[in-house]
Structure 1
Amino acid sequence: MTQTVAHESNESEEAFAERARTFLRAHAAPRAAEERFVWGKGSDAPTMFEKLDRAAELRALAEAKEWRATKFDAGFAWIMGPPALGGAGLDRRYQDIWDRLEATYDVPSGSYFGIGLGMVAPTILAHAREEVAADLLPKLQRADLVACQLFSEPGAGSDLASLQMRAERDGDEWVLNGQKVWTSGAHYSDIGEVIARSDPDKPKHRGLTGFIVDMHAPGVDVRPLRQMTGGSNFNEVFFTDVRVPDRWRLGDVNDGWRVALTTLMNERASIGGGGVGGGGSGMVRLIEMARHFGVADDRLVRQELARVHIEDQVRHWTSARAMASLSAGRTPGPELSIGKLGLIRTIQATCDLVAHILGPRMVVDTGEWGTFNWSGYVLGAPAMRIAGGSDETLRNIVGERVLGLPKEPGIDTTSPYRDLKVGTQAR
């Protein structure tokens, strides 16, 4: 691995920007100016999850890894990272400068690294042994390694603490057995963060332990899951006597719930930053759809267009406030669930609007531009209502941990109505 170029942490914003421009001019081509959106021209495939065959996906991943490594070696991949681990040691202002400048150049997508860098890496930094973090984090940031998140199981999704995958201690190793499901990117990942049940006799939240696992280890079996969109962005992963060294444990034994919460809070921050969809044009595309089909003056359609815009703006401002809090050094908290819920409201408003305008055109492929391909977006929306915590779970988190409302009665809590007889009324 090439050593990252070090720079003074007191570098001025102007000097940093000029250095970034020089690097980008030398390594990438400027992005062509975005043409004004015109209905009927360009791509009409605003899918929620892009459908790529595995060969094309691997080619795109290789290009993304090469670009990430080039950035890392020049000091632009981990701008806010600690210098001791290969980061540039700069603050959010410099990251924002880089993001704005990089967006003006035609470079590979970094979406393959979103889970590893946005969710797994912060958890490693917070909970892994110092020597393990020093080894793995620079490799993740340089894209020498790609990481996935292995949490959900067939019987444990929103109620993650009900997971049943076992981790049994064997000397200086742990032996993992069980199944995980809905794992994005598992088929091209090198390592994964996994939570397993290490003590079945403890209450469910207290008998879990977190680990980093080698996705190429013997006994790890990754199988693609076909979605109703037609793609296979997710996987199920089976573990059969998979051995993990104890030094790759995250946090203390049986304290895996704390580890999981670190990941989940970062996950909701990452997901909540999404947008309306429908391509870079967003609202313009939706407005032009209404005009094309002659309903732009329909009062209900105009109301639904306004709803999409309002939901997206509120989500954007909420996420910006949360990101500012993180930039100030605060730990991600339950309030980040609001950003993810805001994204879902925006997506649902978009689906409602598109279904209203297109009607049967969205479910019957007549070849008409801008119609049937919206079905991929609508069919992908339910997955987003589950990813990062279901809507119901996140509402409970916001109600209980942000607003301070009483805990939702459940199988693990005492209901205030437990003594209420059938046919009686509460007084």
Structure 2
Amino acid sequence: MTVEELAAEAERYLAAHYPKAAGDERSKRFVWGEGDDEVRVFQEPDPETEADAMPAIRAWRRGLWEAGLGWITGPPEYGGRGLSGAHQWAFERVVRRYQVPGDSSLTISLGMIAPTILRHGSEEQKRHYLPKLYSGELISCQLFSEPGAGSDLASLSTRAVRGEDGDWRVSGQKVWTSGAHLSDIGEIICRTADGPRHRNLTAFLVDMRAPGVTVRPLRQMTGGAAFNEVFLDDVVVPDSARLGAEGEGWPVALTTLSNERNAMGHSSFGGAGILSTERLAELVRHTPGAAEDPVVRRAFGELQVQLRVARYAQQVAGARARAGDSPGPEAALHKIALSDNIARLGRFVAEVLGPKAAADTGEWGTYAWTSVILGAPGYRLGGGTDEVLKNVIAQRVLGLPRPN
């Protein structure tokens, strides 16, 4: 099938099920006062609101799957179409012309967990989980960080003990788990032996609805609660849910983290469009005097250059992915670029808006930016802290020696 044929197929499906987006795509731009539904530029998701939206998102994915558009690049033996990355890009270009629920709530499922299962899962796990993840039947989260093991993931303390029946019992606490309140399954890394380090960990796929699993939202200073703490109290996990060999959880974790950094580094991470230069240009035009201010104009130009450099790097990574390469340690560069650019964006917006970014005057497109400004520091932690990732780049990309 040619790229053009796939695009035409996608066009027919979307036209039959979803309305066209506005011709000028103003819903994706920074606009003011065009209806009651356009109240905030950004809104930190509320757990209840997200839960209410999930049926539409699941229906969106189920429809794509049934139409053969749910996993365009996936292996046919697991329900994919076996087509190229160019076909996927063509599909995404068509999707932008329609008002669809989108996949922003499925970034972890589709961008991190599913690729890990494809690489490390057993044949049975691949046939069971992959179609359900890509069709939206299952949603997954990543159970890695702990109160005492964030950047140093290998020091985690959540334990899995194997019983005489062959099943495992998992006990411990995970924290900063994005989307746990929405998830059906979670990829968890547990300590299954006392040593040696990095060889005493095992990965599992745990049922997030199983007895002994407790999910509690963590309220952020942005006002949202996208993260959670998860408690596991003697949770039974069958050995068939083990992902990879016993004691080989560290390579599984590295695969997931590489996929996470690659997904986070993408300019459209989370589906928010917050790095849109068009949106920022509209902000400058709307703010009195900003467009004529040479300091603002220079700052906008510098920010735009940084964003474009990051996008070009992503295009290189995309070309490698289409050639069949898995994300490597260089994916850390994309994630660091994202956190740097989010911080630059926050500073730029704060300078342009001034007091309007800190006090809710009711004016469209002002105070709503606070969720971005307040949330910017968190990007330096997600997917591995920037400091840890700089060490990864130094040692695994540049070949520099480890510090003594």
TM-score by length of 1: 0.88
Report the equivalent of 2:290.
295
* Structure 1 unaligned regions, length at least 5: 1-10, 410-414, 416-427
> Identity over the aligned pairs, expressed in percent?
47
Of Structure 1 and Structure 2, the greater helix share is in: 2
Instruction: Output one character per residue of 1:325-369: Cα deviation in whole Å (capped at 9) or x when no partner.
Output: 111111210011111111112111111111222223222223233
State which drifts further: 341-350 or 210-219: 341-350
Q: Is this contact kept in 2: 1:307–1:349, CA < 8 A?
A: no
Give SS of 1:143's match.
coil
Q: Is this contact kept in 1: 2:65–2:134, CA < 8 A?
A: yes
Judged with a 3 Å threshold, the aligned counterparts in structure 2 of structure 1 residues 132 and 312 are, in CA distance, closer, same or farther, namely: same
State which drifts further: 313-322 or 22-31: 22-31
Give distance in 2, aligned partners of 1:255 and 1:62: 36
Once the two structures are superposed, the pairs formed by residues 20-419 of structure 1 within 5 Å of their partners are 20-34=10-24, 40-42=32-34, 43=38, 45-47=40-42, 50-52=44-46, 54=48, 56-171=49-164, 172-200=166-194, 202-275=195-268, 282-291=276-285, 292-407=287-402, 409=403, 415=404
Give distance in 2, aligned partners of 1:32 and 1:247: 48
Larger radius of gyration: 1
Give distance in 1, aligned partners of 2:242 and 2:401: 34
Give distance in 1, aligned partners of 2:274 and 2:373: 17
The Cα RMSD (Å) is 1.9
Shift of 1:35: 5.7
Structure 1 counterpart of 2:256, one-letter code: T
Number of equivalences:
396
Shift of 1:50: 2.7
Judged with a 3 Å threshold, the aligned counterparts in structure 2 of structure 1 residues 231 and 16 are, in CA distance, closer, same or farther, namely: same
Judged with a 3 Å threshold, the aligned counterparts in structure 2 of structure 1 residues 295 and 32 are, in CA distance, closer, same or farther, namely: closer
Shift of 1:149: 0.6
* Structure 2 unaligned regions, length at least 5: none
Structure 2 counterpart of 1:14, one-letter code: E
Instruction: Output one character per residue of 1:353-411: Cα deviation in whole Å (capped at 9) or x when no partner.
Output: 1122222322222323322221111111112111111111111111111111122x3xx
Give distance in 2, aligned partners of 1:352 and 1:38: 17
TM-score by length of 2: 0.93
Judged with a 3 Å threshold, the aligned counterparts in structure 2 of structure 1 residues 53 and 150 are, in CA distance, closer, same or farther, namely: closer
Instruction: Output one character per residue of 1:136-195: Cα deviation in whole Å (capped at 9) or x when no partner.
Output: 111111111111110000111111111111111113111100000011111111100000
Judged with a 3 Å threshold, the aligned counterparts in structure 2 of structure 1 residues 398 and 369 are, in CA distance, closer, same or farther, namely: same
Structure 1 counterpart of 2:183, one-letter code: S
Give distance in 1, aligned partners of 2:108 and 2:368: 27
Q: Is this contact kept in 1: 2:139–2:182, CA < 8 A?
A: yes
Give distance in 2, aligned partners of 1:88 and 1:141: 12
